[in-house]
Structure 1
Amino acid sequence: MAQITAAMVKELREKTSAGMMDCKKALNETGGDLEAAADWLRTKGIAKADKKSSRVAAEGLVAATTNGTTGTLTEVNSETDFVSRNDEFQTAVRHIADLSLDAEGDTAKLAQMETKTGQSVTDFLVTLVAKIGENMGLRRTTLLSVSQGVVTTYMHNAVADNLGKIGVLVALESSGDKDALEALGKKIAMHVAATAPLALDVDSLDPADVEKERNALIAEARESGKPEAIIEKMVDGRMQKFFKESVLMQQIFVMDGENTIEQVVETEAKTLGTPIKLTGFSRMQLGEGIEKVQEDFAAEVAATRGND
């Protein structure tokens, strides 16, 4: 076996932009042949993928999938919206979304699951990075499940079936007619996509969010110069308004503008003659929380002209 030197590893790294350990492995696999090692890295999808991995990937797709009583949302990012319309990328995202049903909402577990190529999801995407030419990666997955009933999916701004920019899951626990439950779940999911509630009910709200809102309202009310007792009542009233706007069960259903979501569920339960419990929802919006790099092309051109 040929001796693999640090200089050989360095040269291959410079040629392919692959990681040091990957370069060393490639050289070992090919008996120290530099060109063969570069080909080996390209075949494995490693060459140049590391170089792309530092670039911000805030576009891509959210995928929704369900088997009836279990549903998942999965976000896979790419650098540009153009790639989200690539058939190969869409096929890859669908495949990962199908695997997510067995990942139990655990992103780390999903990343290590075996794909149809025999690779882990992480390595599967590395191969795709090298092939398509953009940084991409699995960002997150979430899961909802019921013992009986349905988990309904809805995709807003869909670019293909169950692929788009905003995905929603709604879980309804009930022994009622599945088609009726699906229809109800779809309507509520569309409502969630539009209103982005913070929680299912008041008890599910993050205490830190509630405290932050209350403190902001207190500070605002004190500027009026009113007595503390009056301020307390003002804040209590405004907090109730905050709950009605932020909590799904208390929100006014966007499709009728009159009933709360809680009332909508109760009405359907009476129609079906069996209890229905809205046990949870999830809303996943592509790229939320990712800081995107804003390119100022005019400034770049001006800077270039200044160096002439």
Structure 2
Amino acid sequence: MKMNPDDIRELRDRTGLGLSDCKKALEECNGDIKKAIDKLRVIGLAKADKKCDRIASDGLIAMRLAENCGVLVELNCETDFVARNEKFIELVSNLATIAYQERCTSVDELKNAKYEGIGTVQEAIMNGTSILGEKLELSKLCYLEAKDGIVAGYVHGDVHDLGKTGALVALQSSGDKSKLQEVGKQIAMHIVAMKPEALSIDDLDQAKLNSERSVVEEQVKRLNKPEEVTKKIVDGRMAKYCEEVILLEQRFIKDDKIKISDFIKLSETSVNSPVKLSNYKLLVLGSKN
């Protein structure tokens, strides 16, 4: 049976697979495009399955924001070459959109969500693996919501809302929403640059904090200072440590004369309302947390 070149092209456009695979599938399905798509999907999944043991350490983070909620999605691939591919960029952008629309709060929820024209998100990822020739893996998802305020965000990269590091910020306030967004974005940019470990000292892992204090105490003990002086030195070094890892205590990257907590307080004048930083999310490509 002679295949119509237009049908072959359409099948290739819809599946992303090679001309020879599309031509063969159409021949085996007597020119029925729908049946050929189903057949190629099976072939694509089989090809993707063979790549499941590979390591996907590159990729992109994509962000979607609304006034009071935001989502960050990390999709991994094996090389930067594929991370810059238009089809990969389209896929990760679509995943972020679906995660936002469906209010997904976990990777599993997103994997099981519907992906138009293919099936589930997981099937779309497997299909992408067969098309791009590298293992693709949906590894992380961050969802943040603010009931009384806004969610702002920032992703560091060359393409809008796509990059290697991203942050979301929840600000509670009844003030001007557009100005709150500006404040939130400034804080999100700071988070991407400084990578804090906790919002406040109460949120910091206490075991880690105690371990750090033990190390500092041991170091200061060797100075053979009086007990009162030793305590002051330890307290000073611990305050410095907190300033490095706690967001509210960190020096604002755009003005190191003030802390993030000071920046938030100062912003209340322009926002015309009290402002509270209630939560944040940080996503770094390839990180384990």
SS where residue 282 of structure 1 aligns?
A: strand
What does residue 77 of structure 1 align with? Answer: 76
Distance 2:43 2:183 in 1: 46
Contact preservation (8 Å) 1:85, 1:159: no
Task: Look up the SS of the partner of 1:180 in the other structure.
Answer: helix
1:1-308 mapped onto 2 (5 Å cutoff): 40=39, 43-101=42-100, 102-156=102-156, 158-226=157-225, 230-289=229-288
Separation in 1 of the partners of 2:228 and 2:40? 71
AA of the residue aligned to 1:277:
K
Q: State the secondary structure of the residue aligned to 2:80.
A: coil
TM-score by length of 1: 0.77
In the TM superposition, what is the alpha-carbon distance from 1:229 to its structure 2 partner? 5.5
Ranges in structure 2 where 5+ consecutive residues have no aligned partner: 1-28, 30-34
Name the CA distance, whole Å, in 1 between partners of 2:97 and 2:224.
58
In structure 2, what is the Cα distance between the partners aligned to 1:216 and 1:242? 12
If the length of structure 2 is used for normalisation, what is the TM-score? Answer: 0.81
Instruction: Render the CA deviation track for 1:116-139: whole Å, top value 9, x for unaligned.
Output: 124221121111101110001100
Q: Distance in 2 between matches of 1:177 and 1:207?
A: 36
Provide the rounded CA distance (Å) in 1 between the counterparts of 2:103 and 2:120. 13
Residues 61 and 166 in structure 2, CA contact (< 8 A), matched pair in contact too:
yes
Tell me the C-alpha RMSD between the 2 structures: 2.2
- Aligned residues of 2:77 and 2:134 also touching (Cα < 8 A): yes
Residue 84 to residue 263, structure 1, CA distance change in 2 (3 Å): same
CA contact (8 A) 1:252 1:259 kept: yes
For 2:61, the aligned partner's letter is V
Q: How many residues align?
A: 254
Distance 1:225 1:257, change over 3 A: same
CA distance in 2, matches of 1:153, 1:283: 10
**For residue 203 of structure 2, what is the amino acid of its counterpart?**
S
